[in-house]
Amino acid sequence: MPAQIRTLLFCACLMLTATSAAQAGAFKLQDPRAPNEISETTRLYIDGRLAAVIHLHDGLDSYEKIIPVKDAPRAHHYALCGEMTVIDETGARVVHHVESEGILLRPDGHVIIAAADDDLGDFFLMDASEPGATRHKKGKAGICSGPIS
């Protein structure tokens, strides 16, 4: 193969690698433990792939992890699956099942917080500094009913 063609192929490979690297990104996931929360085990899926497993308990009040995303400029589907145990106002232990899904809109560089509504019936991801960065779909996430891996 002539040197000029090898050089062109090498440059093309470098351009593809640089483009791929530029498309990759990451966001910071945070999950603070609520005051009445005893424990939580939640799995986060991004585009159907397991991205994080959150474990909160008496000795661990918050979770934080950098989550890499491929094709950072595009939207990504997320699902949260698991359970959270809290103490209710009567002092009883109550288990809430975490099953929700939504969309992260260009999450690169964002701080995304795992949150719940006031009655812990619905769980979602949100960006407090940019509310439009996520969209939540009410209802159960289909991926949560599959086998646990």
Is the pLDDT at 118 greater than 50? The verdict is: yes
pLDDT in tens, 27-76: 999 999 998 999 999 999 999 999 999 999 988 999 999 999 987 778 99
Q: Encoding tokens for residue 149?
A: 């891996």
3-state DSSP assignment of residue 122 = coil
3-state DSSP assignment of residue 5 = helix
CA-CA distances (angstroms) from residue 120 to 53, 85, 87, 104, 133? 19, 10, 12, 21, 22
Question: In the chain, what are the domain boundaries?
Answer: 23-139
pTM of structure: 0.78
Q: Which residues lie across from 31 on neighbouring strands?
A: 63
Q: State which fold the 23-139 domain adopts.
A: Immunoglobulin-like (2.60.40)
Q: Scanning the structure block, which residue is given the tokens 């996931």? A: 29
